[in-house]
Chain A
């Protein structure tokens, strides 16, 4: 899904942000978000993603460039006039108010009558299955319940756009996964636009329509989850999303969508060129561990085979994580499904591994 600037609901145009006047935290950001889209900003801490969210919410001002909401420039609009719902990392539920008062607050400041307010608060609480908790204080709720209330509060005044700043970061794994689906379902049923910030790639892959991977103040890749995972544009994205084997080498031949790479040990493998442009260039070939095979009958016809030595087999329940020595690198990982009758590999065993050339992506070296 690509969005042109013209019909974008939210648009960042050449946005730059500096806190100290010396260095840029956000460097020339261009991003268009469609109405109803679930867009995730993913990146390590300090990559500029939260700054982008804060600029959109109005708590930070862009040093340069324009931020547009529904076609109008909102650079100078104060936060309370933007009508954007926001869920904070620590929920920011007002501790001195009950749950009901928390939800009523955005309606009160909009001057809504008491009867209307109560109806809306009730509807919002029912939406997150917290209808019975209106008279509790936030401190009396568990983390997951507070999270739901924060969500209901951000939605109760019917904003068109909802921002979420690592909203599930404080929850345990099981609850987090459960809430991911709930947020996703709410997004689908309400038809709102969501901009979601996280550093958890699993969360990003599960929930998003598109993911913008941030690093060093720039968007490294903007793509739907499957494309991002299977066809990373550069080494950073390949390394940041999922596990990844990297084989360093040099481009020996380059023709259209095929490249021949000579590895450090002299072996030659085929790969799909992504951001290499000429012969003799250094490259990192990236291969996902679950795409590596060692049984010839499981490999496609044109698969490339290479010698490997088993170093370690780690039993992880659903998979067997096998660490191999391949082409001189000691940390090449192969994930084997733990099926009945799976071949038992032992350390020291010599095998041959292979993969589809489409899964071997020749990227920029870092």
Chain B
């Protein structure tokens, strides 16, 4: 008791320094050395992980394709409230900005930005910019003379939206929503809604893959944990073998196995299970994605399960049996609850990996087996709408973080056991 109360008032060392300070000084050297040792890794993570993710998140809300190249018109939009009809100064700003854009050859960039919000407008900017050097007051008539599509309130509403470098437009687009001319948030026309459905499909498929991984992995992990060491080592190598094989090799071997003229179909035809005409379509669709991804992600389920099961002594189940429980009750009430940390870790790991998986669905998914990451890649590589790609990726990241948070609330993250 005396020590506890002394700690409350602050112990001092023999020469009168506060104990806390003395301890910090004594440990400073060791702490500094430890920090220096982890510094390379820390720098690596910051440079290769934190910075790109930060940039991506920034990209999702920031696009200066319009504002940087059309400064006069952007300024006019900033000064005049929503709903103001374009007056002569506005037309003048547009004409002069288009002249500058033509000189700087940036009309395409501006057009692309507007085009993201309102399709078919990119060519309007490029073609008008080519005629811009001849513009003379009154500018309204000059611009409309160049192309009468300029006299469109919708176009002006869209330009107002994209005149701010920072906007939530891309997030709205990623959620199948858009802003109307008055700046109200409305749903996209039905035929242009694709992202929300794809998000839902991605999460459903990832959930299904997690479930099949669990159903297939649990018995194997149990076997691994209970077999004699000699056999379990062999089995462990079989489980780990896929880890040492290239992802592409594994995916393409599934193509060899599952395609219509492939091994499985031919075997089924040969044994008379299906007819020659009835060859099954097992690849280049959702089924191909599920089969190949389950196979690839299975070790991520087995290893955490195994590491949780290995130290569970057989005496628990024996005790339950001796206390009168049937083998099923003993499994359900005693064994299964003790493997929960492994189930949680494995499921979370597989689910998060599956949600963001790209290569396998791209190779074997066909049209119906594509996941959200394939669309992100499309926007990165083909449509070059990096802002939309970033918004989609940020939404995916956010959803995974929400799941992680939910898991922490429901199961507790300290119950996670990865190995």
Residue ranges of A at the interface with B (Cβ–Cβ < 8 Å):
57-59, 78-80, 82-86, 88-90, 92, 94-96, 105-106, 109-110, 153-154, 157, 163
Contacts and interface: CB of A to CB of B under 8 A. Distances in A.
B245 interface: no
Given A80-B322, A109-B329, A153-B323, A96 B315 contact: no
Contacts of B323: 80, 85, 105-106, 109, 153-154, 157
Contacts of B333: 105
Contacts of B313: 90, 92
A154 B329 CA distance: 18
B316 interface: yes
B395 interface: no
Contact of A89 (B315, B321, B330): B315
A94 B312 CA distance: 11
Contacts of A78: 321, 327
A157 B324 CA distance: 9
Given A92-B313, A105-B333, A85 B325 contact: no
Interface of B: 313, 315-316, 318-327, 329-330, 333-334, 337-338
Contacts of B337: 96
Given A94-B334, A96-B337, A96-B338, A57 B322 contact: yes
Sorted nearest first, the 7 A-B pairs with minimum C-beta distance are A106-B323, A92-B319, A92-B315, A86-B322, A79-B321, A109-B325, A88-B315
A79 B324 CA distance: 7
B318 A59 contact: yes
A322 to B, nearest CB: 45
B411 to A, nearest CB: 13
B188 to A, nearest CB: 49
25 contacts: A57-B318, A58-B321, A59-B318, A78-B321, A80-B323, A80-B324, A80-B325, A80-B326, A80-B330, A82-B322, A85-B322, A85-B323, A86-B318, A92-B315, A92-B316, A94-B334, A96-B337, A105-B323, A106-B324, A109-B323, A109-B324, A109-B325, A109-B329, A153-B319, A154-B322
Given A109-B329, A110-B324, A154-B323, 12 more contacts: A58-B321, A59-B321, A80-B330, A85-B322, A89-B315, A94-B316, A96-B337, A105-B325, A109-B323, A109-B326, A153-B323, A154-B322
Contacts of A92: 313, 315-316, 318-319
B139 to A, nearest CB: 77
Contact of A95 (B320, B322, B329, B338): B338
A51 to B, nearest CB: 14
Nearest to B315: A92
Contacts of A95: 338
Nearest to A54: B318
Contacts of A80: 321-327, 330
A105 B320 contact: yes
A58 B316 CA distance: 15
A110 B320 CA distance: 12
Contacts of B320: 94, 105
A280 to B, nearest CB: 50
A72 B135 CA distance: 111
Nearest to A111: B324
A58 B334 CA distance: 19
Of listed B319, B327, B334, B338, residue having the most chain A CB within 10 A: B319
B271 to A, nearest CB: 38
A98 to B, nearest CB: 13
A209 B360 CA distance: 70
Of listed B323, B324, B325, residue having the most chain A CB within 10 A: B323
A191 B319 CA distance: 23
Contacts of A89: 315
B319 A86 contact: yes
A57 B329 CA distance: 18
Nearest to B313: A90
Contacts of B319: 86, 88, 92, 94, 153
A109 B334 CA distance: 12
A153 B324 CA distance: 12
A93 to B, nearest CB: 8
Contact of B318 (A83, A88, A96, A110): A88
A333 to B, nearest CB: 40
Nearest to B322: A86
A153 B320 CA distance: 11
B344 to A, nearest CB: 14
B338 to A, nearest CB: 6
A89 B313 CA distance: 11
Of listed A90, A106, A109, residue having the most chain B CB within 10 A: A109
Nearest to B334: A94
Contacts of B334: 94
A84 B324 CA distance: 9
Contacts of B318: 57, 59, 79, 86, 88, 92
A158 to B, nearest CB: 12
Nearest to B323: A106
A96 B327 CA distance: 18
Nearest to B336: A96
A92 B324 CA distance: 15
